[in-house]
Amino acid sequence: MDDNSARASHILVSYEGLQGSDSGRSKEEAQELIGTIQAELANGADFAELAGEHSDCPSGAGGGELGEFGRGDMVPEFDEVVFDLEPGEDSDVVETAFGFHLIRRTE
What pLDDT shows up at residue 1?
Answer: 63
**107 exposure class (CB count in 10 Å sphere: 0-12, 13-18, 19+):** exposed
What pLDDT shows up at residue 3?
Answer: 81
32-87 tens-digit pLDDT:
999 999 999 999 999 999 999 999 999 999 999 999 999 999 999 999 999 999 99
What pLDDT shows up at residue 50?
Answer: 98
**Residues above pLDDT 90, as percent of the chain:** 87
> Which structural domains are found in the chain, ordered by start?
5-105 (3.10.50.40)
What is the C-alpha separation between 3 and 23, in angstroms, rounded?
35
What's the alpha-carbon Rg for the chain, to the nearest Å?
Answer: 13
pTM, two decimals, is 0.92
What pLDDT shows up at residue 44?
Answer: 96
What number of CA atoms fall less than 13 Å from residue 58's CA on the CB side? 2
Q: Is residue 50 helix, strand or coil?
A: helix
